[in-house]
Chain A
Amino acid sequence: MADAAAATSAAAPLPVVVIGGYLGAGKTTLVNQLLRTTTERLVVLVNDFGSSVIDASLIEAREGDVLQLAGGCVCCQIGDDLSDTLHRLVVSAPSGTRPDRVVIEASGVAQPASVAATVAFSAGLDVECVVVVADGERIERLLADHYVGDLVAAQLRQADLVLVNRDCGADLSGVTSAPVIPDDGAVVDLVSPGVAHTPVAASELAPASAMFASTVVSGAGDIDSVLAQVRAIPRLVRAKGFVHSDDGVRLVQIAGERTTVSRWGGGSLPPAEVLCISLR
């Protein structure tokens, strides 16, 4: 842990969750669910900025196109240029306003991979997870639609995790290789399992759901061997935690096929544990 001090001083990249899916899929519902349950300071970027997007009960103040929300969260409109918005958010944000996490609700026609690529090319940001939401009752009809069928398929294909609400048993395995998870109300824990910037024991963050099994893997030792142990868990959909390797503490995130490892820049030492969530 020779460079623990250096790692602490350099801010870790800000984790970004991208929420995609076609118009009416339930993206906004998921965002509101996140805001209601989070203990983090989230910045939520939305494409649609009508007055009805964010639950009124969560809004504390409105200044132009910025909503101040309960718990120190903020919601703003993406505007006409996502990269410009992200740049302002991270690089030119006043000190002390740095959020714990950024959640981007992409527009209904956005290609989630394109949003994720914009994030990846921006300074100080890391893509943590691309979630694509689908309305189970409409998804088969949308996939067959003359105009937008190829777009809807591309969105599902580009997901790390697919969340299906109002499930009607549509089989999406031919469209996407991402885990397809029916929404039983607890999926919000998959999107954002716990706190990235305060060291809470991973075991406290297990989702309260009969649908998921959670396992805690020890985060002591070599990063590759910890990741191998995590990856060996059958039907793994999400993992998150800290590895204490020889060259410092690492924050590890897995969402579907995506693995993100970043240097831990938090103040105190988090426990060496990785919470792994799999489908039962």
Chain B
Amino acid sequence: MQVYRAQLIRTLDAARPTATHVAVHDGVIVAVGDAGDMPADAPVDDTFAEHVLVPGFVEGHAHSQVGALWNSCYCGRFSRVGPDGTEWDDLPTIDESMARMRAWADANPDVDVVFGWGFDPIYFGRSCVRADLDTVSTTRPVVLAHASLHIVSVNTVALERLGMIDSPPATDAVPLGDDGLPTGELRGPEAAYPSIARLGLMRKVFPTDDEAFIAVARLAVLAGVTTLTDLGIPYEAKQLDRYYDLTSRPDWPVRLVPMYLSDGRAATELVATAASVGATSTDLLRLGGVKIVVDGSIQGFTARLRAGRYHNGKPNGLWYQTPEHVRDVLALALTEGRHVHLHTNGDQASEMVLSTLEELVAAHPGSRVNVTLQHAQLLDDGLMARAAALGVKVNLFVNHIFYWGEAHAAMTVGEERAAQMNGCATALRHGLTLAIHSDEPVTPVNPLFSMWCATNRCTHTGRVLGAEECISAADALRAVTIGPATTLGLEHEVGSIEVGKRADFAVLSAAPLTVDPAELRSIEVWGTVSGGRPFPAHG
């Protein structure tokens, strides 16, 4: 038995919204209230006397591959915290990105290929080209992956190794400069992936060693996250064994929710595998959910839009699964209430899923709909109403407003759609279960930052995009705790501070419902309490 005293505890229990003391036994909350409500003989821990406790954050959409990326050089435009707690500064110019890569290359002389990631040309008005990367090295290949991971820029040595300097392939995927030579950009997975494989990079980019997963757990603690999804992995024995092992170690700090990525297997096999693997779940490892990637991304012009085209005239995007496969999986999942998470960035993809569900539910009354639309960035009022009628939950990608809001207004969907996209206020008006997320590594896992995005809707230029869709800090806090917990079917265990639930807390320097919402992203995270055990972010 242990009592934690805090400056303030924000419980998200409607009957008792705030408290100062919480008692924990065997990882479970046994009392919430003030000093007088605590069991008489329990020792009081004052570590958090100057801190604020909120329910441990639940990141409902993240990917473990980021752990591997941190072995190489982060080159994103905006500052980001690495798994070791190091804060990597903003890089306002391409020259500064090159300087960082040079320093990284010098510090890692034994690395064969210098690899950077997170670069995004939309902030610079031009891409990173061969001449830029030749300032990093003229002896080693240098590869800079763009934020999408679908485009890479490479230096001259890399192009020589690929045989592309002398005879560049005649395709838009390898654009040529005024000198008739490749600019160094390899555009699209068709060009980028085989090329980096030929440079020997594939395993470096996505290795599956313990260290990479431990790095992900550290990122979670730094952000106050106590439940973290790994949204879409193959349920392969090797990968599962690693999860069983890591999550059973005594110092493992975070509940993992890895879902089975629909990888082309027939629906029956997919759902049966999800069920049998799901039966091996433990407290800190929750298996059995199914993930289907239905379309692509909006900023990559691969999401499926009802408009049939993008704002800048690009053609409609790609389906990554057939509507038939989606229907087959949903039909099976509905009969047993299995959780299915569907990545639907574009509104046509969301509409297709909702139409399919409406038909299935009409044909099979009494179906259990445990379905979450992931990203669902372009759900408008009408689609939200249909989602609400079905009991479908939504996990919106609000971080997009800051990182790509301006690009969406100018290029992908236009100002009108951009002002409405990731419409948290509309979702709440329809009574939808709402979560907001980072899609780490696409944007950094940081629920306080996601709360800031949902409450302020500021783009990277400081402009407010779609003020009508801003929500309150209280609603935003629910969208990073009990909201995502509900999308995962864990709302009875985590997501609020109530007797009987897991003792999972985020330990903060200030009260998120009291500070100016503009300051939400500046609140410091001391660390977490997971299953009653403190995990400091630093130290």
Which residues of A approach B to under 8 Å, CB–CB?
Answer: 22-24, 47-52, 77-84, 86-87, 91, 107-109, 111, 114, 117-118, 120-123, 147-148, 150-151
Contacts and interface: CB of A to CB of B under 8 A. Distances in A.
Given A48-B265, A83-B193, A117-B190, A123 B320 contact: no
Q: Of B171, B261, B315, B323, which is in contact with the most chain A CB atoms at under 10 Å from its CB?
A: B323
A49 to B, nearest CB: 6
B197 interface: yes
A147 B269 contact: no
Contacts of A77: 264
A107 B264 contact: yes
A231 to B, nearest CB: 20
B269 A148 contact: no
A91 B199 CA distance: 12
A23 B202 contact: no
Identify the 7 closest CB pairs spanning chains A and B, nearest first.
A117-B190, A83-B193, A121-B194, A83-B194, A87-B197, A122-B194, A50-B266
B522 interface: no
Interface in B159-180: 169, 171, 173
Given A49-B265, A87-B202, A147-B352, A117 B321 contact: no
Contacts of B261: 80
B265 A147 contact: no
23 contacts: A22-B322, A23-B324, A47-B264, A48-B264, A50-B265, A50-B269, A79-B234, A80-B263, A81-B202, A83-B193, A83-B197, A87-B198, A108-B322, A108-B325, A109-B320, A109-B322, A117-B191, A121-B193, A123-B198, A147-B304, A148-B322, A148-B323, A150-B315
Contacts of B197: 83-84, 86-87, 122
Contacts of A81: 193, 202
B195 A148 contact: no
Contacts, number: 88
B234 A80 contact: yes
A108 B264 CA distance: 9
A118 B190 contact: yes
Interface residues of B, number: 33
Given A77-B264, A118-B194, A121-B169, 15 more contacts: A22-B322, A23-B324, A48-B265, A80-B234, A84-B202, A87-B198, A87-B202, A111-B318, A117-B191, A118-B189, A118-B193, A120-B169, A121-B193, A148-B322, A151-B319
A107 B322 CA distance: 9
Contacts of A109: 318-322
Q: Of B189, B264, B324, which is in contact with the most chain A CB atoms at under 10 Å from its CB?
A: B264
Given A23-B325, A121-B195, A147 B169 contact: no
B297 interface: no
A109 B326 CA distance: 12
B316 interface: yes
Nearest to A145: B323
B348 interface: yes
Contacts of A91: 198
A151 B263 CA distance: 19
Contacts of B316: 150
Nearest to B234: A80
Contacts of A22: 322
Contacts of A83: 189, 193-194, 197, 202
Contacts of B304: 147
Nearest to B270: A50
Contacts of A84: 193, 197, 202
Interface string B306-328: 00000000011011111111000
Given A83-B197, A87-B198, A121 B320 contact: no
Nearest to A114: B190
Contacts of A122: 194, 197-198
Interface in B234-266: 234, 261, 263-266
A147 B202 contact: no
A87 B194 contact: yes
Given A49-B265, A118-B189, A148 B198 contact: no
Interface in B182-209: 188-191, 193-195, 197-198, 202
B197 to A, nearest CB: 4
Contacts of A80: 234, 261, 263
A117 B173 contact: yes
Contacts of B264: 47-49, 77-78, 107
Q: Of B190, B234, B315, which is in contact with the most chain A CB atoms at under 10 Å from its CB?
A: B190
